[in-house]
Amino acid sequence: MQRRTLLGAALATAASAGTAFAQDAARFAHGTPLGTVPFSPDVFRERRQRVMAAMKTGIAVLHGADNIEHGQSEEEASQQVANFAWLTGIVDEPGAVLVLAPAERTVKEWLLLPSRNPETERWDIERLALGEEMERRTGFQKVLRTPSLGGLVTGLAQRNKELRFLGPIVGPNAPVPPVLELYGKVAQRVPGARTVDDTALLPSLRIVKEPRELAIMRKAVEATRAGHLAAMRAVRPGMTEGELKAIMEAAFRAAGGKGLSYHSIVASGRNAASLHYRGGNGVIGKDDLILIDAAASVGGYACDVTRTFPASGRFTPAQRKTYDIVLAAQEAAVAVLKAGVIFEDVDAAAREVIRKAGHADDFYHGVGHLVGTEVHDAGDMSKPLPAGAVLTIEPGIYVQAQNYGVRIEDQYLITPTGAERMSVGIPRTAAEVEALMAEGR
Ligand code: GLY
Ligand code: MN
Ligand code: MN
């Protein structure tokens, strides 16, 4: 991300100068991959070294996404396979493959990119030739073309017999992951080579956010905050959900948001009881509660926040009662959050508050999930949560027959002694919501 921004600035300056330098600068910036995002190549090399230190032996092959649409700027990151992006930072080359072999003597890692095609490059985007510039941009000493993959892995498998599957596991109706097909073929040809389950490895590393990741995630929170505030201020009965959504999403961008973490849910009244509501034509009624589950993304990192507020700016007593139950459920969950807690116990703490209030059947989803480059990020939540994990706490009460849904969702960073609410500055208690909405009304 940084590199692209810098290059963009350099190009703009050079272009306005209109000199020979402008041409050089332009040539320099041509060809994907443009670099690694959102960090410099050494960050990703260090991550690969951590992974290889854990592997010790064997081979790991990891495929990137086959379909990456160009022109999405920084948000190309969200089209890349998350494990691949985390290990390489290469998000603008479809069909890339990573090979790791920690027990090899000298070269232990390879990046393979599809062969160049001058015809498609005249239509789509120019791609960089192999060579020193490629090494500089990717941080890989060895960059090959993907037709070499079979030969490379077969050769390595003769010395490194564990063919490690890094996941993720997919459902029975999804296509077989290409790496498992490759491993199957290699195992048939190299005596002793066998597929080994290493699916827990990357989630166990990704779950702990690095300080530089947290810094980007806080920027995503900042943009998200601006959008939620704009929506609370702008809402008026008679607007459509879609109009409110447009105001909010414009505020995300104005505050530095680069993309959406997921499809924004802006649901009024009864629509809020449909958890993944994707409409937008609903007209906001004067007595409606509005539920907004929406967040900006920055540098490929997601955020995830939900707020529920009254269209009129004032909760009715009945709305307020339900709202306070949901808030109490969130606070009960947060009270038990800290490093070492098992997430099931966090869920149970929130559920107990809602059950005691007589709404056991009206809270029909889990209380939260990890957040990172994916909205539902990698990590084993059946194990004690580590410090550095980021997750949501999002209890809700939904009663379609009474035309409402209430959810409050915040994002928390687990610490050794508790949890820090990252999604700060977005009115959360009923009083805070009403106070903000009263401004300018
Ligand atoms: N916005 C998706 C979720 O809350 O999980
Ligand atoms: Mn969520
Ligand atoms: Mn959400």
For residue 53, list its beta bridge partners: none
Q: Confirm if 64 and 94 have CB atoms less than 8 A apart.
A: yes
pLDDT for the residue numbered 11:
35
Q: Nearest-5° angle of CA 186, CA 190, CA 193?
A: 75
Q: Does the pLDDT value for residue 14 go beyond 80?
A: no
Does a structural domain hold residue 19? Answer: no
Residue 304 alpha carbon, nearest atom of ligand 1: 1
Does a structural domain hold residue 11? Answer: no
Domain boundary among 191, 206, 221: 206
Residues 150 and 216 in one domain: no
Residues 162 and 223 in one domain: no
Residue 306 alpha carbon, nearest atom of ligand 1: 4
Does a structural domain hold residue 25? Answer: no
What would the mean pLDDT of 143-167 be, rounded to a whole number?
98
- Terminal C-alpha separation, the chain: 40
Q: Does the pLDDT value for residue 341 go beyond 60?
A: yes
Gap from CA of 401 to ligand 3 centroid (Å): 23
Q: Does the pLDDT value for residue 24 go beyond 60?
A: no
DSSP assignment string, 285-310: PTT-EEEEE--EEBTTB----EEEEE
Does a structural domain hold residue 374? Answer: yes
pLDDT for the residue numbered 78:
79
Does a structural domain hold residue 375? Answer: yes
Does a structural domain hold residue 390? Answer: yes
Which residue's alpha carbon is at the smallest distance from atom 3 of ligand 1? 304
Does a structural domain hold residue 251? Answer: yes
Name every protein residue with a CB atom under 6 angstroms from any ligand 1 atom: 262, 293, 304, 369, 375, 394, 409
Which residue's alpha carbon is at the smallest distance from atom 4 of ligand 1? 304
Residues 286 and 356 in one domain: yes
Neighbours of 133 (CB within 10 A): 12
Domain boundary among 166, 188, 206: 206
Gap from CA of 140 to ligand 1 centroid (Å): 36
Nearest to 95 by CA among 113, 119, 117: 113
Residues 196 and 222 in one domain: no
- β-bridge pairing 390-393 and 306-310: unpaired
Q: Of the residues 409, 411, 412, which should be mutated to test ligand 1's pocket, given the most ligand atoms within 8 Å of the CB?
A: 409
Residues 223 and 201 in one domain: no
Q: Nearest-5° angle of CA 171, CA 173, CA 175?
A: 90
Q: Does the pLDDT value for residue 22 go beyond 50?
A: no
Provide the residue range defining the domain that includes 255: 211-438
Gap from CA of 288 to ligand 2 centroid (Å): 22
Is this prediction's pTM over 0.95?
no
Q: Does the pLDDT value for residue 91 go beyond 90?
A: yes
Residues 160 and 294 in one domain: no
DSSP assignment string, 156-175: HHTT--EEEE------TTSP
Q: Does the pLDDT value for residue 309 go beyond 60?
A: yes
Residue 294 alpha carbon, nearest atom of ligand 1: 1
Q: Does the pLDDT value for residue 17 go beyond 60?
A: no
Q: Does the pLDDT value for residue 21 go beyond 80?
A: no
Domain boundary among 173, 188, 206: 206
pLDDT for the residue numbered 3:
34
Residue type at 100 in one-letter notation: L
Gap from CA of 410 to ligand 2 centroid (Å): 8
Residues 185 and 311 in one domain: no
Q: Of the residues 224, 245, 306, which should be mutated to test ligand 1's pocket, given the most ligand atoms within 8 Å of the CB?
A: 306
What does the pLDDT look like over 342-372, one tens digit per residue?
999 999 999 999 999 999 999 999 999 999 9
Residue 56 maps to which CATH number? 3.40.350.10
Gap from CA of 392 to ligand 2 centroid (Å): 6
Tell me the pLDDT of the chain averaged across its residues: 93
pLDDT band at 28 (very low <50, low <70, confident <90, very high): low
Residues 227 and 202 in one domain: no
Gap from CA of 209 to ligand 2 centroid (Å): 18
pLDDT for the residue numbered 74:
64
Residues 239 and 199 in one domain: no
Ion ligand 3 residue ranges (Cβ < 5 Å): 293, 304, 306, 409
pLDDT band at 73 (very low <50, low <70, confident <90, very high): low
pLDDT for the residue numbered 30:
83
| Residue 22 tokens, joined | 């402008």
Residues 173 and 38 in one domain: yes
Gap from CA of 43 to ligand 2 centroid (Å): 28
pLDDT band at 102 (very low <50, low <70, confident <90, very high): very high
CA distance 315 to 404: 12
Gap from CA of 344 to ligand 2 centroid (Å): 16
pLDDT for the residue numbered 145:
98
What would the mean pLDDT of 60-88 be, rounded to a whole number?
87
Q: Of the residues 264, 265, 274, 304, which should be mutated to test ligand 1's pocket, given the most ligand atoms within 8 Å of the CB?
A: 304
What does the pLDDT look like over 168-211, one tens digit per residue?
999 999 999 999 999 999 999 999 999 999 999 999 999 999 99
Does a structural domain hold residue 6? Answer: no
What's the total number of domains in the chain?
Answer: 2
Residues 350 and 428 in one domain: yes
What would the mean pLDDT of 59-64 be, rounded to a whole number?
98
pLDDT for the residue numbered 70:
78
Residue 230 maps to which CATH number? 3.90.230.10
Q: Of the residues 266, 291, 392, which should be mutated to test ligand 1's pocket, given the most ligand atoms within 8 Å of the CB?
A: 392
Residue 139 Rama label (left phi>0; alpha psi -120 to 50; beta): left
Residues 229 and 157 in one domain: no
